[in-house]
Chain A
């Protein structure tokens, strides 16, 4: 535990001057395209070299100068228990990364640095995206050295994944989908996305079409044009036509849904292996993903409006993904709850039992959201009724019809808010937090208390007056929120969760619980 906050200056290291050259070339390459476009676009190139050469020199000097400043003010240091990185001239940032938090050190080489034998060193922590720590452009030898240093400092920590938990049972199938199940799943995946795709394609290639499809007059002419052929068909034929159209639509939707499902989930197989959950699926592109169980942060039990009536559900895991791209993996796409339960058990979670104490959101929240939804529609309905009566050519009663329509829509959306409130509930037990939300297709989120990262209580102007708040949790790879709970309850939940978080360190999450 001996570290002095202020280090001797000789401890600080700077990247080699060669890295300044590399960075300058890289940024010049980026600026270059814009400059070429500007020069060609404005016709400056006609001025000849007298103008162009000074311009290029100025550009070179400009980028070099700023790169040099950035390079001059970037320094790093390996102290006893963390890496310190400082950068910036006016905006100075001093970053400290504890060795325990570094998951991996990756070395990356793109073309230009490669020519100079330099690499970009990235220290990967759990934090995703741009907040990673990078030391840009050191020599390969130095990078290897950095990596060794970090590994050496980290030693004593537990080994990452890989050690077999139960050697006698290499892999156990958890869930599989046969063709019948796949077909049923496909039917529920009914999708009209093909029309969106066609619409997009039509927009791209509309010059190939014989008429402008976005022009309603064109359509009118087609329908009512020469001979008014549609009008002459008679009501019965028109009705049959409409029914046929709907049937075609349904068939297209079903076929699309089936096709997409089969392509994605053909041969779906989930196994419990020593390294984690292994999922294989796909017809043409077969994917094989292993999700280490200790990286699972939360679970989601999902369903659909229709499939719910038949008792079908799905299960996804939210995990601290290494590639940070897919934090959300479907592990059971379409199954009965009693098929999902064993998978949940394998991940170390438990579904809420009968004894779970569910809490609803605040009643004030319900009233407020109802009123807030209704007011704009009420105003709009009144406006529609009033302005409508002022339009001279409008047939009598139409403005009332419009007002009634708007009012009905408002009522419907308010009703939805009420139902959303009724179906939103949460529960907390010794290990987990459960949040259920959604009206027609309710979703259940399960989060492990110790795996949460932070807790925020957020209030707007209205909720402050009315005494309720949103509780937002930091989840690695996902989001979790309890909406509109009474403030006291929000605080109680936060207190409970924080106490369980503070008990276990992030780096130990793999071994704990």
Chain B
């Protein structure tokens, strides 16, 4: 692969489990609203189903559809000397971090991520903008392997 021309190349998709992680996160986020809507429904303030139906539909869309679209919008490309991270459904962002500018590397695992064997790779740079670029939804082993690769690259370049 010619590292100088990444733009046309296909992106590597994230681990399929990432969809589940995002779904679970969204579920936790919308749950209070659904409970609130249910309470209103049973309180009988509004006519039957007037409030709960749209809320449930919206919640369903947010939980089922959006994470899937989000998953498809994300992707990365591990080059020989740079990492490209693409994300965003509405506001697209396409960031490239050269390994030569990586200050330090985090592999982060939240409780949900750990349950699904996923991890987030975070690259820290010295720039004010994009001081840390994170790439979620990687298999934990992949994330560790990528860290070692980047690590080795930093070492090689400096020697």
Contact status B5-A101, CB under 8 Å: no
Interface status of B158 (Cβ within 8 A of chain A)? yes
Chain A positions within 8 Å of B106 at CB level: 93-96
- A456-B94 CB under 8 A given contacts A478-B128, A501-B101: yes
Q: Pick the contact of A127 from B99, B104, B144 — CB < 8 Å?
A: B104
Q: How many residues of B contact A (CB 8 A)?
A: 50
The answer to whether A95 touches B129, judged by C-beta atoms less than 8 angstroms apart, is no
Nearest-neighbour CB distance to chain A for B24, whole angstroms, equals 14
Residue contact A458 to B92, C-beta cutoff 8 Å: yes
Q: Inter-chain contact count A-B, CB under 8 Å?
A: 179
Chain A residues positioned under 8 Å from B125 (CB to CB): 126-127, 453-454, 474
User: Please, which residue of chain A has its CB at the minimum distance from the CB of B155?
Assistant: A81
> CB distance A98 to B93 under 8 Å?
no
User: Quick check: is A325 within 8 A (CB to CB) of the other chain?
Assistant: no
Interface size band for A: 35 or more
Contact A459 B92, beta carbon cutoff 8 Å: yes
Q: State how many angstroms separate the Cβ of A319 from the closest Cβ of chain B.
A: 11
Chain B contacts for A187, CB-based, 8 A: none
Question: Would B127 and A82 count as touching, CB distance under 8 A?
Answer: no
Q: Mostly helix, strand, loop or mixed at chain A's interface?
A: mixed
In the complex, are the beta carbons of B94 and A457 less than 8 A apart? yes
Q: Could you tell me if B96 and A454 are in contact, using CB atoms closer than 8 angstroms?
A: yes
A97 & B104 in contact (Cβ 8 Å cutoff): yes
Query: Which residues from chain B contact A479 at a C-beta distance below 8 Å?
Result: 128-129
Q: A90-B110, A101-B154, A474-B125 are in contact. Are A502 and B3 (CB under 8 A)?
A: yes
Question: A128-B131, A131-B132 are known contacts. Are A458 and B111 too (CB-CB below 8 A)?
Answer: no
Tell me whether A475 and B98 are in contact (CB under 8 A).
no
Residue contact A475 to B124, C-beta cutoff 8 Å:
no
From known contacts A454-B98, A499-B4, A506-B101, infer whether A92 and B158 are also in contact, taking CB-CB under 8 Å: no
Is A157 positioned at the interface, with any CB of B under 8 Å from its CB?
Answer: yes
Which parts of A139-160 form the interface with B (CB within 8 Å)?
A: 157
B82 to chain A, nearest CB (A): 6
| A452 contacts B147, C-beta separation under 8 Å | no
Q: CA–CA, A97 to B131, complex, Å?
A: 15
Cross-chain contact of B105 among A96, A452, A477, A506 (Cβ < 8 A): A96
Query: Can you list 10 residue pairs at the A/B interface with Cβ under 8 Å?
Result: A1-B155, A93-B106, A101-B103, A452-B127, A454-B129, A459-B91, A476-B126, A495-B7, A501-B100, A506-B100
